[in-house]
Amino acid sequence: MSLMDAAREVRENAHAPYSRFKVGAAIRTVSGAVFTGCNVENLAYPQGTCAEAGAIAAMCAAGEREIAEVAVIADAPDPVPPCGGCRQKLREFAGPDVPVTMATTDGATRTMTLEELLPGAFVPEHMSRT
């Protein structure tokens, strides 16, 4: 199964009763393991948690820490990028050249690096004096 197929499959499990905007994400680590996540909305936080954050949580729970590739899919007219918060979370575990492939359920895709999605990311080197 491709990384995008894994994201497409988990998207169906999203809990999006308010926005009805289901998002699926899959990440492949440098070891080759694949972790998935979907968005989850609730009354207290109707915008919900993001699919990418769920995939990162699953990755960390499994003891993995380094992302090699990301796939995100949503039912939208154009490929939807990860939100700003998720871009930073992804950058915590991936280098600037890691590819992020965004897709629509209709098959349109766009691939960008994390550096292109989040130029000037906050990285550990910014805290080198602490």
Residue among 18, 12, 15, 10 nearest 35 (CA): 10
- pLDDT of 63 strictly over 90: yes
Count Cβ atoms below 10 Å from residue 110 Cβ, excluding itself.
13
Contact call for residues 108 and 78 (beta carbons, < 8 A): yes
- pLDDT of 121 strictly over 90: no
The reported pTM is 0.93
Delimit the domains of the chain by residue range.
3-127
**Cα 77 from chain centroid (whole Å):** 19
User: Does 50 carry a binding-site annotation?
Assistant: yes
Coil/strand/helix, residue 61: helix
Q: What is the mean pLDDT of residues 43-53?
A: 82
User: Does 45 carry a binding-site annotation?
Assistant: yes
Q: What span, in angstroms and rounded, lies between the C-alpha atoms of 118 and 130?
A: 24
Q: What span, in angstroms and rounded, lies between the C-alpha atoms of 85 and 89?
A: 6
User: Does 44 carry a binding-site annotation?
Assistant: yes
Average model confidence (pLDDT) for the chain? 94
Residues classed as catalytic: 52
pLDDT score recorded for residue 111: 98
CATH class of 3-127: alpha beta
Q: Which helix (H) or strand (E) holds 87?
A: helix 84-93
